[in-house]
Amino acid sequence: MSKEIYSNLIGAGESGKSTVIKQMRLIHASGFKASEREGFRIIVFLNVFSAMQILLEIVDILNLKLTDPILKYAHMFKSTPSLEENQRFPEIYYSPLKDLWNDSSIQDAYQKGNAFALHDNIAYFYNQLDTLWNPNYKPSDGDIIRCRAKTTGISETAFHLGGLTYRMFDVGGQRSERKKW
């Protein structure tokens, strides 16, 4: 009979609970199936897109000015597009995202982003837009570790190590999820 060790990861939202779970799966379990990687691929796109929405809001709040050729792209980020499984990242956003990311006002907004709700994965993903928009893109382990999605409910990850079975529970950290603790 194997011993089981239970661990509940609780804490505030954005504190890294899900990241620890993903790391444990990669190191001690079987990693992620192709279907799970596809789900993370969609999350990567949403992280990139929502980051630009936030950066554009920061530009507006701080009264920064986008350069004229770049200004025409801002309207594209008013609403978030949906992305289906196995659908390529929409090509229409590739050049605007690259150009906006390289704009000095967006970079200024990024530098001041710690005062806003910016994820820490922005530079990582924006510096590899070419890879992300490749039609054969599949998220690497590093991409999966860095992508961010709000955890709702409770998810369990189990793995075996040294004759023990570890069961880790990831509990949503948002205020509305805390009653489940």
Catalytic entry in 23, 128, 148, 178: 148
Q: Please check if 80 is assigned to a binding site.
A: no
Active-site position among 14, 99, 108, 141 = 14
The residues with which 4 forms a beta bridge, in sequence order, are 165
91 given a catalytic annotation = no
39 is in an annotated binding site: no
- Residue 16 counted as an annotated binding residue: yes
Separation between Cα atoms, residue 52 and residue 108, nearest integer Å:
13
The annotation status of 108 as a binding-site residue, yes or no, is no
Q: State yes or no: is 19 an active-site residue.
A: yes
Dihedral (CA of 42, 151, 76, 52) sign: negative
Whether 170 is catalytic is yes
Q: Is 172 annotated as a binding-site member?
A: yes
Tell me whether residue 48 is annotated as binding.
no
Would residue 111 show up in a list of annotated catalytic residues for this protein? no
Task: Select which of 131, 152, 165, 174 is catalytic.
Answer: 174
14 is in an annotated binding site: yes
The one-letter amino acid code at 9 reads L
CB-based burial of residue 35 (10 Å sphere; 0-12 exposed, 13-18 middle, 19+ buried)? exposed
19, 23, 107, 128: the catalytic one is 19
- Cα distances (angstroms) measured from residue 12 to each of 16, 25, 151, 172, 176: 9, 21, 11, 8, 11
Residues tagged active-site: 14, 19, 148, 170, 174
Residue list for the binding site for GTP: 14-19, 170-174
Residue list for the binding site: 14-19, 151, 170-174
Residue list for the binding site for Mg(2+): 18, 151
